[in-house]
Structure 1
Amino acid sequence: MTTAQPAHGPLHWVDGTMPEFDQAVLRIPIVGFLEYCLRGIGQVVFMNSPITGAFILAAAWTHEPYLGFSGTIGVLASTLTALVLGFDRGAIHAGLFGFNGVLVGLALGLFLSPQWDVLVIVWTVVLSAASSILMAALGSVFGGAWGVPPLTLPFNFVTLLFLVSALQLSRGHLGDLVEPGAPAVTGPEVQTALRESASAVGDTDAVAVINAIFRGIGQLFFLNSLLAGVLIIVGIAFCSRIAAGFALVGSAVGMLTGMALGADGVQIYNGLWGFNSFDAALAIAGVFFVLTWRSALLGVLCAIFTAVLFGAIASIFVPWGLPALTLPFCFGTLTFLLLKGASKYFTFVPPADVVTPEEHLRRARREREALSAEGQS
């Protein structure tokens, strides 16, 4: 999806995709491998930056050490599997065989029990490795047929298939968070206002909104924490300020969509309506489409659509007690990515050419200047 490209400015060594740093550490195999892994963590939010990955990993370890551990072994297992099986080395360097693995690790760390159990850790390693195999397979299909990436579909397929199977297995080690239930319409036990949820914990309306937005950032990594959300945004901003801005916008749009639909205020407050929308917004507004006011609007629309999908998929999964994970993000974002040839106003960035929104704008400006020079000659 992304190849390191030169950044600009006085902080270019830690800005953008950090190509100079990448070239330096590749000479040291172990350090280079760890850098691949950190880039893989950053690629969950489309940031090919080890600093972004380091901030996200720090957020996980700070929030819950076991989740940090599970995410770490997940990205290590998936990246190592790609290396051993000889998958595309450039894609491995860019972290494209790590982002599904870290999500598998974080998800199993949350949904399986008990913590630090040997069998649970083994499952985490095996399934994280499997996500790389599925990533290679889906990448070939999606890239060849439609020219779009499979996003986090490998993570969703591997994790959900295991959780569904584990419902009927004595050694599944499912935790209490996976609890099948009967579908229900909104009743008196559901708080349908963010204000009600905020008052339950003593927050003001403003604090509740800030909590919902930043918890929505953290929830992409199963981290229900305002601090985790702040750390992740800081990590994204090191690579791209535009992406960080649209991450906040997307989370806010998801929150507002949930409120407009009368969703459970507790879910909204804890960021569950924001995490799919924030990743969708930054994917469309600057990552896969060059940023313009039209692509920015498209990103907001994608965030709304993704939030609605979250409500629908979460409701469908209630009888199994399963989480929606990032399926809403995948379906919503892929729908909008397939618009790439539908309008002359949107400039699509092929997955192999993706870097940062800022670099995409610079490329577009250089192309316009080149065309202008040709026209004058």
Structure 2
Amino acid sequence: MFSIFKNKWNGVIVTTLKGISQVMLIENAVSGFMILAAITIASYSLGIVAFLSSLIGTLIGKIGGANDESINQGLFGYNSVLAGMALSLFLTGNNRWLIALAAAAIAAFVTAAMMHFMRQTNIPILTFPYIILTWFLLLTTYRFVSLNISPTLKPQSLSNWTLDIEGEINWVDGIANGIGQIFFLDYTPSSVLFFIALFWAGWRMGLYAIVGNVAALLTAYGLGGEYSLIFAGLYGYNAILAILAVSAVFKGNSRYGLLTGIIAACLTVPITASIDTWLMPLGLPPLTMPFVLSSWIFLAARKIMPQI
């Protein structure tokens, strides 16, 4: 009896780690452990939130009777991970940990709902559940005293906006921070571990991440973006996810998958700038919506033009 329970628990841990790895579109428990370690060395509290969030999402999927294949792939964990981490960072107060874990649970239900709504399209839901849930919960802070938004997320008036293109050029920081910002981090040792986790899952994953990140850096720089944003990785992380989705994970029989992925990565840059501008009066971050929109465009277009 004990051995049966132990095997089941081990299975849950493995699936939980896969849920963490799925944030970067990987189904690999070892990569998930590396990613968790990278988060934890930057912030042990964020590491705990990431693990518990993935565990909560996984358990809700199991208890709810979701498809075993989806659960075992970690597909009920990654949106919970991002929602839990985002809200633990973007809220203040002692109750933010409880709210973050509650959001991780809700993210599992939103994930299931989105899977149902998009089933007929055969287009992956990606991180859309986490984005919508996080935006909605952050906006509730203006109506409830028990929820307090971080002072770093301040609404700004577009009428007073000026573009600041001053700053130091540091391409190395841009490459490192791009992958780190997927998990809201700008800590170089963590970024190195993230790259190792990708290469562990497959050399193409690691190489494509570098190519997508560099493509985004050059695009943002060429368009005259703010240096501080470019080299903080805020134009890179969506590009990395987009090229992984379009060129590697959902490539299908595409002949020009890598080229399409590079274009998708570059497209995330103006989309990021646009969404960031739209959200400035609300004080909300763009999160991974640029990645979702860019990837959806090319994955949907591939239904009509399968070679792209």
- 1:202-256 CA distance string (max 9 Å, x none): xxxxxx1121012010101111122221110100111111011111111111112
Cα shift at 1:290: 4.4
Aligned counterpart for 2:98 among listed residues 107, 122, 130 = 122
1:334 aligns with 2:282: no
Distance in 1 (alpha carbons) for counterparts of 2:273 and 2:8: 44
Contact 2:255 2:307 in 1 (8 A): no
Task: From the two aligned structures, give the one with the greater helix fraction.
Answer: 2
1:231 aligns with 2:206: no
1:171 aligns with 2:146: yes
Specify the alignment match of 2:156 in structure 1: 181
Cα shift at 1:186: 6.3
- TM-score normalised over the length of structure 1: 0.77
The 5 A counterparts of 1:243-282 are 243-282=205-244
Specify the alignment match of 2:260 in structure 1: 298
- 1:157-210 CA distance string (max 9 Å, x none): 11110001112321112222221111257637x1x25xx324xxxxxxxxx112
Change in CA separation of 1:282 and 1:72 when aligned onto 2, cut-off 3 Å = same
Distance in 1 (alpha carbons) for counterparts of 2:27 and 2:81: 15
Specify the alignment match of 2:34 in structure 1: 55
Cα shift at 1:292: 6.5
Aligned counterpart for 2:202 among listed residues 240, 261, 271 = 240
| Alignment-mate amino acid for residue 294 of structure 1 | Y
Change in CA separation of 1:233 and 1:170 when aligned onto 2, cut-off 3 Å = same
Distance in 2 (alpha carbons) for counterparts of 1:93 and 1:187: 48
Structure 2 unaligned segments of length 5 or more: list them. none
| Alignment-mate amino acid for residue 65 of structure 1 | Y
Change in CA separation of 1:302 and 1:82 when aligned onto 2, cut-off 3 Å = same
Specify the alignment match of 1:78 in structure 2: 57
Contact 1:180 1:319 in 2 (8 A): yes
Contact 1:26 1:32 in 2 (8 A): no
Change in CA separation of 1:186 and 1:264 when aligned onto 2, cut-off 3 Å = farther
Specify the alignment match of 1:5 in structure 2: none
Give the SS at the match of 1:178: coil
Specify the alignment match of 2:119 in structure 1: 143
- TM-score normalised over the length of structure 2: 0.94
Structure 1 unaligned segments of length 5 or more: list them. 1-24, 199-207, 347-377
| Alignment-mate amino acid for residue 58 of structure 1 | A
Aligned counterpart for 1:288 among listed residues 250, 273, 284 = 250
Cα shift at 1:291: 7.7
1:36 aligns with 2:15: yes
Residue correspondences, number: 305
Specify the alignment match of 2:109 in structure 1: 133
Give the SS at the match of 2:302: coil
| Alignment-mate amino acid for residue 93 of structure 1 | N
1:219 aligns with 2:158: no
Distance in 2 (alpha carbons) for counterparts of 1:93 and 1:48: 9
The 5 A counterparts of 1:3-22 are none
| Alignment-mate amino acid for residue 171 of structure 2 | V
1:309 aligns with 2:271: yes
Contact 2:127 2:288 in 1 (8 A): yes
Contact 2:212 2:243 in 1 (8 A): yes
Distance in 1 (alpha carbons) for counterparts of 2:294 and 2:5: 36
| Alignment-mate amino acid for residue 15 of structure 2 | Y
Distance in 2 (alpha carbons) for counterparts of 1:109 and 1:123: 8
Give the SS at the match of 2:149: coil
Specify the alignment match of 1:65 in structure 2: 44
Change in CA separation of 1:342 and 1:111 when aligned onto 2, cut-off 3 Å = same
Distance in 1 (alpha carbons) for counterparts of 2:230 and 2:283: 19
1:152 aligns with 2:127: yes
Cα shift at 1:53: 0.8
Contact 2:253 2:307 in 1 (8 A): no
Change in CA separation of 1:291 and 1:253 when aligned onto 2, cut-off 3 Å = farther
Distance in 1 (alpha carbons) for counterparts of 2:8 and 2:179: 32
Specify the alignment match of 1:351 in structure 2: none
Out of 171-180 and 131-140, give the one that drifted further: 171-180
Contact 2:155 2:282 in 1 (8 A): yes
Aligned counterpart for 1:197 among listed residues 162, 165, 168 = 168
1:92 aligns with 2:71: yes
Contact 1:73 1:124 in 2 (8 A): no
- 1:296-349 CA distance string (max 9 Å, x none): 110010011111111100111111111000111111101110022322524xxx
Cα shift at 1:71: 1.5
